[in-house]
Amino acid sequence: MNKIKIAVQKSGRLNEDSLKLLKDCGISIDNGKDQLKASASNFPLEVFYLRNGDIPQYLRDGVVDIAIIGENVLVEKGTDITVAEKLGFSKCRVSIAVPKDVSYTNIQDLNEARIATSYPNTVLNYFKRFNVKPDIHIINGSVEIAPNIGLADAICDIVSSGSTLFKNNLKEVEQILTSEAVLAVSPSISNQNQEILNKLQFRIQAVLKARKSKYILMNAPNEKIPSIIKLLPGMRSPTVLPLAEEGWSSIHTVIEKNSFWEVIDELKTNGAEGLLVVPIEKMVL
Ligand SMILES: Nc1ncnc2c1ncn2[C@@H]1O[C@H](COP(=O)(O)OP(=O)(O)OP(=O)(O)O)[C@@H](O)[C@H]1O
Ligand SMILES: O=P(O)(O)OC[C@H]1O[C@H](OP(=O)(O)OP(=O)(O)O)[C@H](O)[C@@H]1O
Ligand SMILES: [Mg+2]
């Protein structure tokens, strides 16, 4: 049977969440330890464990059909590759940072500055917009140390919590882009594999939607129902079921995960009791 080939990072920041996503899509992967290739037992899919940085080339060459990869890597070396879906994890930004005690007004200050980075194309394209010329030094890891050892005046690297910058006495001065894990597609995917991709994407969308939502239940006296319904955001039509106790009902609906905290106090003052917030496994709209 025909199978779609997906590249997943072999080890590193994307590996665990990528495999979790496939698992949440109901796909079981027979993972032998240290294997570089594995098959799903219940979906026409083969997994190739590769380095994140190598994946754009494999997609371009059609060695794999799809991949879970950091968007920032596509900006750096895969601008010809399409993104089918943003996946909501491994969120970060790619930024320029300079030593904390250096005064910084704007990007013109970095004309001819030595910039250490693993993302030369990203830096060059950004600087080009401002007509500023950087002197790029390519480093593959521990980039943030470069200014401290006299190797560079500034760096361009991934920032998430900012703690690596802080520990190395650097400050973020320009944010070039934001990134998250994405599902990327080879330009040469066959029609047959495109059909498998459509099925996979349908499942991924159901999982991502469910991750963003919660099922909420509460009890309330019947006369309070209209005011409670007005408070519940993003809902089309809640379910209202009578309780065994006369004059009371149970109200059920789906809400966005984060919006719950904004309305909880008001729900209570409007007479809601016994609130339950429950995770949703899959959501098909
Ligand atoms: N601190 C971070 N917080 C959130 N996401 C991050 C962070 N660092 C990296 N990422 C994202 O995860 C991806 C993989 O990062 P990781 O450091 O695991 O691998 P890498 O060294 O870039 O790649 P390779 O697999 O080629 O060794 C990055 O491309 C980026 O999209
Ligand atoms: O803002 P923070 O939360 O501190 O995250 C940013 C750091 O995370 C990444 O490094 P990683 O830990 O992946 O190590 P690496 O350089 O070996 O890839 C990135 O290269 C930064 O150094
Ligand atoms: Mg890293």
For 198-238, strand residue ranges (E) read 213-221
Residue 184 in any domain: the answer is: yes
The whole-number pLDDT of residue 235 equals 55
| 116 and 169 fall within a common domain | yes
Domain boundary among 179, 200, 223: 179
| 9 and 84 fall within a common domain | yes
Q: What is the CATH number of the domain that holds 78?
A: 3.40.190.10
Cα distances (Å, whole numbers) of residue 15 to 35, 169, 277: 14, 30, 30
Residue 62 in any domain: the answer is: yes
User: What total of structural domains would you count in the chain?
Assistant: 3
Q: Is pLDDT larger for residue 35 or for residue 110?
A: 110
Residue 11 in any domain: the answer is: yes
Residue 108 in any domain: the answer is: yes
Phi, psi for residue 258 in degrees, rounded to 5: -80, -20
Residue nearest to atom 28 of ligand 1 (CA): 70
| 175 and 236 fall within a common domain | no
The whole-number pLDDT of residue 33 equals 62
The whole-number pLDDT of residue 236 equals 67
74-126 residue pLDDT tens:
999 988 999 999 999 999 999 999 999 999 999 999 999 999 999 999 999 99
**Helix 191-212 and helix 15-24, axial crossing angle in degrees, nearest 10:** 90
Residue 83 in any domain: the answer is: yes
Give which of 67, 234, 95, 102 is closest to 160, Cα–Cα: 95
| 34 and 171 fall within a common domain | no
Residue 226: CB within 6 Å of ligand 2? no
Judge whether 152 and 191 are in contact, CB under 8 Å.
no
Judge whether 21 and 90 are in contact, CB under 8 Å.
no
Q: pTM of the prediction?
A: 0.91
| 75 and 184 fall within a common domain | yes
| 40 and 110 fall within a common domain | no
Judge whether 39 and 45 are in contact, CB under 8 Å.
yes
Which residue range(s) make up the domain with 240? 213-279
Bridge partners for 4 per DSSP: 45
Cα 254 from Cα 270, distance rounded (Å)? 19
The whole-number pLDDT of residue 257 equals 82
Phi, psi for residue 90 in degrees, rounded to 5: 55, 50
Residue 131 in any domain: the answer is: yes
Domain boundary among 179, 200, 233: 179
Residue 201 in any domain: the answer is: no
Residue nearest to atom 10 of ligand 2 (CA): 158
Using 50, 70 and 90 to split pLDDT, how confident is the model at 127? very high
The whole-number pLDDT of residue 32 equals 66
| 53 and 185 fall within a common domain | yes
Domain boundary among 133, 155, 189: 189
| 185 and 59 fall within a common domain | yes
229-275 residue pLDDT tens:
988 865 567 899 999 999 999 999 998 887 778 888 889 999 999 99
Give which of 155, 178, 177, 176 is closest to 102, Cα–Cα: 155
Residue 284 in any domain: the answer is: no
The whole-number pLDDT of residue 256 equals 85
Cα 36 from Cα 54, distance rounded (Å)? 14
| 8 and 86 fall within a common domain | yes
Cα 89 from Cα 201, distance rounded (Å)? 16
Place of tokens 């991750």: 211
Q: What is the CATH number of the domain that holds 272?
A: 3.30.70.120
The whole-number pLDDT of residue 255 equals 87
Q: Is 25 exposed, middle or buried (0-12, 13-18, 19+ CB in 10 A)?
A: buried
Residue 160: CB within 6 Å of ligand 2? yes
Residue 140: CB within 6 Å of ligand 2? no
Judge whether 170 and 99 are in contact, CB under 8 Å.
yes
195-233 residue pLDDT tens:
999 999 999 999 999 999 999 999 999 999 999 998 886
| 73 and 185 fall within a common domain | yes
| 72 and 185 fall within a common domain | yes
- DSSP letter string, 9-41: ESSSTTHHHHHHHHHHTT--B---TT-SEEEBS
Tell me which ligand sits closest to the C-alpha of residue 177: 1
Mutate to test the pocket of ligand 2, among 160, 168, 171 (most ligand atoms within 8 A of CB): 160
The whole-number pLDDT of residue 222 equals 96
144-202 residue pLDDT tens:
999 999 999 999 999 999 999 999 999 999 999 999 999 999 999 999 999 999 999 99
| 165 and 221 fall within a common domain | no
The whole-number pLDDT of residue 237 equals 78
